[in-house]
Structure 1
Amino acid sequence: MSLLNQQQLETISNAITEVEKQTDAELVTVLARKSDDYLYIPTLWAALIALLIPLVLRFTPFWLDGNELLWAQWSTFVVLACVFRIPFITLRLVPKSTKRWRAASLARRQFLENNLHCTKDQTGILIFVSEAEHYVEIIADRGISQKVDNLIWAKIIDDFTRQVKSGDTQAGFIKCIQQCGDLLKQHAPYTTEKNELPNHLVII
């Protein structure tokens, strides 16, 4: 998972500042390491496999009596629950739909927590990335969403997602911010000086 140093953070902040000189929109960028710990997933998988042990043994030459079988199931459960909690493994056990759902939920929570719904002209825009899930989303408040079609944002999101998957998150942010800026200066051009929301990258 990529880590951004201070220079990279400043580069992103400067890119936001430059874009906001050309538009009335307020951009906020958020980077999450991951959207959930998914701690229940290793437990579920370990329990499922442990419960299947009697069925597996029935098709082998080996069979255990009641106490031995119970011990085998408990041992399997404990060992797998620990192994499956290794982050690299955990993320591969989580269904893709679950990862997307958790990341999307966190994006919407960040939109509210960063007060993007409180700008004077409803021009807040969130650029959200969750690295572990390779998830990117752009959420625009009403003042922008009424002017820019979702299909346009989708193209920018697809480009950014590819860069996140390749581990180039910082460059992805810069390109995404610039692409958003090109759109916003057309649909929400600069009219007055304001800076209602912070320009730095929020890392959670």
Structure 2
Amino acid sequence: MKLLTESEQQQVAAAIQRIERDTDAELVTVLAAQADDYAYIPLLWAGLIALLLPGSVNIVGGWLNAGNLLLVQWATFISCGLLFRVPAITTRLIPRSVRYWRASNLARRQFIELNLHNTEAESGMLIFVSEAERYVEILVDRGISSRLDDSTWQAIVETFTNQVKRGETLQGFLTCIETCGVLLKEHLPATHERNELPNRLVILS
């Protein structure tokens, strides 16, 4: 799955480079295809349907003996298991709370793995997007959160989330980076030149 082309990724990197000239913040962007493979979800739903549906129908109709009922249950389980593995269907079977929880966990892991918690001025900032979950989150280290309240990012995240839902992921990144840059320039202006973390867009496919 090609999330963004090389040219589009370069546009994101250039946008990061522009705003980092005016702020001490170290901005990193991450784009994930999905936060989890949810391999257990198709099997869980297929098992429930295979267990409940044929039996319920048979109680009403009484047209299957025990042996045939078991065969129908197995056939239902296999058919549903295969059908529910289609990504577009799998996503719709997962409760939103579960999808967001998995995406949020991945965002926090990326914050640590990319050393955003270990910058000189504690000024790391992560803009994280998971496309399958239509999930956007902004995470910041203490150097930023001490000057800008977490609620500052809420409207920016909501706007970006709507853009991801419309398939405008690139424009979402560019708009988000520019908007964050204005705030960071005001509240965390550059004191000296630094570039501790890579400006490229990190792709998790």
SS of the aligned residue for 2:167 comes to coil
Q: Which residues of structure 2 form unaligned runs of 5+?
A: none
Alpha-carbon RMSD: 1.1
Q: Which residue of structure 1 lines up, in the alignment, with residue 70 of structure 2?
A: 70
SS of the aligned residue for 2:75 comes to helix
Deviations 1:49-82 (A, max 9, x none): 11112123212x3421111111111111011101
Deviations 1:152-203 (A, max 9, x none): 1001000100100000000000000001100001111000011000000000
Q: How many angstroms apart in 1 are the aligned matches of 2:58 and 2:68?
A: 12
Contact 1:2 1:168 in 2 (8 A): no
Q: How many angstroms apart in 2 are the aligned matches of 1:57 and 1:186?
A: 69
Q: What's the CA shift for 1:3? A: 3.0
2:81 matched to 1:81? Answer: yes
TM value normalised by structure 2 = 0.97
Q: How many angstroms apart in 2 are the aligned matches of 1:7 and 1:50?
A: 47
Q: Which residue of structure 1 lines up, in the alignment, with residue 55 of structure 2?
A: 54
Q: Which residue of structure 1 lines up, in the alignment, with residue 184 of structure 2?
A: 184
TM value normalised by structure 1 = 0.97
Deviations 1:125-151 (A, max 9, x none): 000000011000000001101111111
SS of the aligned residue for 1:35 comes to coil
Contact 2:25 2:125 in 1 (8 A): yes
Q: Which residue of structure 2 lines up, in the alignment, with residue 7 of structure 1?
A: 7
Q: How many angstroms apart in 2 are the aligned matches of 1:164 and 1:97?
A: 18
Q: Which residue of structure 2 lines up, in the alignment, with residue 115 of structure 1?
A: 115
Q: Which residue of structure 1 lines up, in the alignment, with residue 169 of structure 2?
A: 169
**Percent of pairs with identical residues:** 55
2:159 matched to 1:150? Answer: no
